[in-house]
């Protein structure tokens, strides 16, 4: 692993695949022009609309999303994470919410089907029933061992509330944790940053958290604040509330320093 710049992209996706992918390309271009070699797109980067539309349009969205990720990774010679897009299941009654990591040669490096689904009634009037349209993934996420960029662990959004998933990733050698999200505005204001800092601190890992922001459709609104956090829990970059990118350096010396000063992973008694 060597030092490099990573980018967490922040988008305001809508129910229009073409518009979203064009916007994503602009932000990838922005990140690369600033030197980013590892770029993460948020959950629902290619489509954020009604759950019923997501299911019916899933074959088209999935094909367009995967083609886009492979094309962008090759064109810009980067490692690129698509933080979550619908992929039809065998029955086609539901979809998987898939995060896909692509290398600079356009080849798939890792794929993760989101396990924890967001079924919540919030006081702001929004009700989320992700399980009505999404089938939970049954496999623990992978850690992709990149010699250049470090060991990269995958997760998606609501997973961040389940620390055992990240303990698994750190146990498998993760040094950088991806948490692409479409975190709600209501929960995000209180929980988003502190949860990400906790996952970074307890696993002594970098966290790259691409995010959705602003209003999308109907009452749906996302929190924003795509961030990159270091293994000590310090916020290195924050995209704020507007579409854009958060860019920061991923540094092996810093990772080694924190793990040497706080060797908590070596002190585990249970598990």
Does the active-site annotation cover 113?
no
Q: What is the mean pLDDT of residues 152-173?
A: 97
More confident residue, 219 or 134: 134
Task: Tell if the pTM clears 0.95, that is, is over it.
Answer: yes
Does the active-site annotation cover 43?
yes
Topology of domain 4-266, per CATH? Answer: Nitrilase/N-carbamoyl-D-aminoacid amidohydrolase (3.60.110)
More confident residue, 96 or 218: 96
Q: How many angstroms separate the CA atoms of 180 and 77, rounded?
A: 21
Q: Which of 43, 66, 113, 175 is catalytic?
A: 43
Q: What is the pLDDT of residues 163-188, one digit of tens each?
A: 999 999 999 999 999 999 999 999 99
Main-chain phi, psi angles of 82, to 5 degrees: -95, 110
User: Where are the chain's structural domains?
Assistant: 4-266
* Three-point CA angle 24, 120, 66, nearest 5°: 25
Is pLDDT at 271 greater than 80 in this prediction? no
**pLDDT at res. 60:** 97
Residue 188 to residues 127, 178, 179, 184, 203, Cα–Cα distance (Å): 15, 17, 14, 6, 22
Does the active-site annotation cover 256?
no
Q: What is the mean pLDDT of residues 213-228?
A: 92
Confidence of residue 251 (pLDDT cuts 50, 70, 90): very high
Q: Check residue 134 and report its DSSP letter.
A: B
Is pLDDT at 218 greater than 90 in this prediction? no
Q: Which of 54, 70, 94, 114 is catalytic?
A: 114
Residue 77 to residues 7, 71, 239, 247, 269, Cα–Cα distance (Å): 14, 10, 23, 17, 42
Q: What integer best gives the mean pLDDT of the chain? A: 96
Q: How many angstroms separate the CA atoms of 117 and 122, rounded?
A: 15
Burial profile 122-148: b = 16 or more Cβ within 10 angstroms, e = fewer: eeeebebebeebbbebeeebbbbbbee
Q: Which of 66, 157, 175, 205 is catalytic?
A: 157
- β-strand partners of 41: 82
């Amino acid at each position: 692993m060597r030092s490099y710049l990573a980018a967490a992209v922040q988008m305001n996706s809508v129910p229009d695949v073409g518009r979203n992918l064009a916007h994503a390309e602009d932000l990838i271009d922005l990140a690369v022009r600033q030197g980013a070699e590892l770029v993460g797109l948020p959950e629902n980067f290619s489509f954020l609309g009604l759950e019923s539309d997501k299911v019916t349009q899933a074959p088209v969205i999935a094909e367009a999303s995967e083609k886009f990720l492979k094309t962008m990774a090759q064109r810009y010679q980067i490692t690129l994470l698509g933080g979550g897009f619908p992929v039809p299941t065998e029955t086609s009654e539901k979809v998987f919410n898939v995060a896909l990591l692509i290398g600079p040669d356009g080849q798939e490096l890792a794929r993760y089907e989101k396990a924890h689904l967001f079924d919540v009634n919030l006081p702001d009037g929004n009700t989320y029933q992700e399980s009505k349209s999404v089938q939970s993934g049954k496999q623990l996420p992978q850690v992709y061992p990149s010699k250049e960029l470090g060991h990269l662990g995958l997760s998606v959004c609501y997973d961040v509330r389940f620390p055992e998933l990240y303990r698994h990733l750190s146990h498998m050698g993760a040094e950088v944790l991806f948490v692409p999200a479409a975190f709600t505005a209501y929960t995000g204001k209180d929980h988003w940053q502190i949860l990400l800092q906790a996952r970074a601190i307890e696993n002594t890992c970098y966290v790259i958290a691409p995010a959705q922001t602003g209003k999308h459709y109907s009452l749906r609104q996302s929190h924003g604040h795509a961030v990159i956090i270091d293994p000590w829990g310090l916020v290195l970059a924050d995209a704020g509330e507007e579409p854009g990118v958060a860019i920061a350096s991923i540094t092996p010396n810093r990772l080694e320093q924190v793990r040497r000063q706080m060797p908590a992973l070596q002190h585990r008694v249970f598990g």
